Every structure is written in structure tokens, then in C-alpha cells.
Amino acid sequence: MDSSVLLGSQFPQDAPQLQGLLGVPVRGAATPEELLQLTHQGVPSAIVLREGFSSSLSLPDLMAILSRRPDLGSTRMIAVVPVSQMQASFEGGADVVLPPDTSLPTLAQAVKRSLDRVTRESKFQTDVEELQKKVENHVKDERTRDQLVHMLVHDLKNPITAILGLLEIVKDDGERLIPPDLMNMIELAREESQHLLYLAANMLDVRKMQAGKMVLSLVHIRPNELEQVIEQAKLDVGIALKERRITVNVDRRFNHVPVDRDILRRIFANLISNAVKHTRTGGLIEVVVRSSASALELAVRDNGEGIPAQDIPNLFAAFEQSRLTMHSRFDTGMGLAFCRLAVEQHGGRIWVESERGKGARFYFTLPLEKHEDDDVEVLS
């Protein structure tokens, strides 16, 4: 589209006069046929049709023909017609309708406003296209980054698993031969390797759950089995937990709950590990399970440093918990992101309550399976 104006008028002198007032090229047409031919030679920014221009075709009908042309979709149409034809002109596609006694300077002002609008809309369309291209490039970059992270993390799991196996062998076979202080270092190396393995697993599983590709292996566990899961999670946290006081209190008034045992174990391990990182030596960590009619409420509470209020809204987003812990380990927040997605995939929800300096309380729920009797309607 160019910035020219196409004028349909029975007065030839109107075109150069209007061009002088507008400062843009104005092409004149004396007949509808000539006007239609000119529109095929170049798409104008505006078309002005004046009363008396066409004797064989009414201006509203001519505008209806022009408005159906896809290439003229952004062209503004201005009609100068009698009052009796104004409504029909709007219905035919006119953007501006003026009375027959409109002076040429006034017409020029109306055309100029229409041209300004065309310019703004064209710029807006260009900006939208550029923004859309940036979004597409960003999505492409994100996809490439995710694929790269997935490949790197996946490739890291095998050597980490091998290191863990070797450290387990050294630990089991060397208890009588290796000095205690060296055994402590071996145990620390094993736990840090385990931490790396959990980090890799969390990153892979977060990506799977975000893509909707994570399938839970649900089994029904009873209160004593839930306690076993918690004990396994405590072992996963490792030696650092020995420097904390931890209590476990499980409400036994539920029959069973459907869960993925391995996923639940990792949820507890992440939350307990998070509590360890934010409490001092000798700090208290409480694991509490309460039952209601429809769900279990599970909690991991600590008396540590607490969480700043500004951190809470994004606490469960991946890479958003990036703040130094009390023990100078930089936390990616991937563990809490895993917890949120895993709990939600079980049909529950997770949240945190905390005040700076007063510890933190992480809660999550797991829906209890409804018994068939619950759906039976009793008729009197």
C-alpha cells in the first residue's frame, strides 16, 4: 500500500487542489471504471467518492464492491453524499461520510485524519508482526534450551550412579580398614553424589510433568506404610539429618490413600532436605500427617530462619528459590517445583506458611479415595 489518495469526482480540478492541501499524491478518476482500473495499478491509502461521480452505479453500491476486495482491506473510504444516502454508504463500507456541501479544505482534513489512522494501524501491524516473530524465536530458544538441559541431565545420571555404586562398595568393604575420619568424608561424598542424582531426577521429572508425560504408579498405602515412606525419605536426606531433631507423627485414622510411593518419598525427601538447609544444628523438624473425611494433610515444619514474604509467591517455581541458605548452598528451587507438580498430579495442593525468623511450615494434601458406599443415595 502506498500513501496516495484516489479521488472519484466529476470535477477534474479537485484532484490537484486536494493534493496541494494534503501534500500526498492524489490520482483522479472521472468514471467508476477508471477508478477500479487505478486501484489495480496501486493500492491507495484512501479512496474519496464525491456526489455525482457515478451515474450508472450508486456510490453505496460502488463502495460495497470496493469493500469486498481483500487487497483494499486497509484502505479508508470517504463518501461525500446526500443525507438520504449516508446510511447506505456506511452499510456499503464507508469509514467517513460527509454532506455534499463539505468544502475542499474540510474534506482534506477528514482525509488527513484517515491517512494518519492508516499510518498508525500499519505501524501497529508491523509492531505486532515483529513481536510475534520475537515470541516465536523465544519459544524456539526455550525448546532448544529444554532439549539441551534434558540431554545434559540425562547423560549425567549414568556417571553419578556409577560413582554412588563405587562409594557404596568402599563404605561396605572398608569400615574395618579405613579410619573413621576418612569414612566420614566418603559418606559425605556419597551423600553429595546422591544430592546430584536427586537434582538430576527432579529436573527430568519437572520437565516430564510440565509436558504432561509423567505417569504415576499408584498403589494404596496404609498408615504404617506411610511411616515407612517417611523413614526412607529421612535416609535419603542423609547424615545432615543426624544434626537435627526430627519427629514424625502420623494420624492412623485413615484406611488407605492412593499414591506413587517413590514420588511421595521424593516429596518428603525434598521438603525435609529443604528444612535441614534452613535450620541450624540442633534445630527441630516435625513431620505431621492429619486425616479428614476427604484428604490427608501432610506437613513438614521447622524452627529455622523462615522465608521472606517477597519470596513466598514464587517459591514453588523452578529456578525461583535461588537464595543462599544458612549453610551457603545455593538452591535452584527445583526440588520445590518438583513437589508442587507431583502433589498436583496426585490431585492435591501444596502451600507454605512462614514468617522471617519463625520457621516455615510446608503443607500438602493427598485426596483419599472415595468408597463406593459414599455414592449410594439412601431413599426413605
Per-residue pLDDT tens for 312-327?
A: 888 888 655 534 454 4
Instruction: Determine the pLDDT at residue 1.
Output: 62
Is 357 or 194 the better-scoring residue by pLDDT?
357
Element (H, E) at 27: strand 26-29
Side-chain-facing half-sphere of 203: CA atoms under 13 Å: 21
> Which one has a higher pLDDT value, 211 or 303?
303
Interval 363-374 mean pLDDT: 74
* pLDDT tens per residue across span 151-174: 777 777 778 888 888 888 887 777
Q: Enumerate residues 6+ apart whose C-beta is below 8 A from 256.
A: 220, 221, 222, 369
pLDDT higher than threshold 60 for residue 290: yes
Model confidence at 372, pLDDT cuts 50, 70, 90, reads: very low
Q: So what's the pLDDT on residue 240? A: 76
Q: In whole numbers, what is the pLDDT of the chain averaged over residues?
A: 85
Q: What is the pLDDT of residue 187?
A: 79
pLDDT at 181: 82
Q: What is the pLDDT of residue 152?
A: 74
> How does residue 367 score in pLDDT terms, banded at 50, 70 and 90?
very high
Each residue's pLDDT tens digit, 179-227: 888 888 887 888 778 778 777 777 777 877 877 878 899 999 999 999 9
The domain at 219-367 falls in which architecture?
Answer: 2-Layer Sandwich (3.30)
Say if strands 96-98 and 350-354 run parallel, antiparallel, or are unpaired: unpaired
DSSP 119-171: HHHHHHHHHHHHHHHHHHHHHHHHHHHHHHHHHHHHHHHHHHHHHHHHHHHHH
pTM: predicted TM-score of the whole model, two decimal places? 0.56
Q: C-alpha grid cell for residue 212?
A: 504432561
Cell of 305: 530462619
Q: What is the pLDDT of residues 6-49, one digit of tens each?
A: 999 888 788 999 999 999 999 999 888 889 899 998 899 999 99
CATH number belonging to domain 5-102: 3.40.50.2300
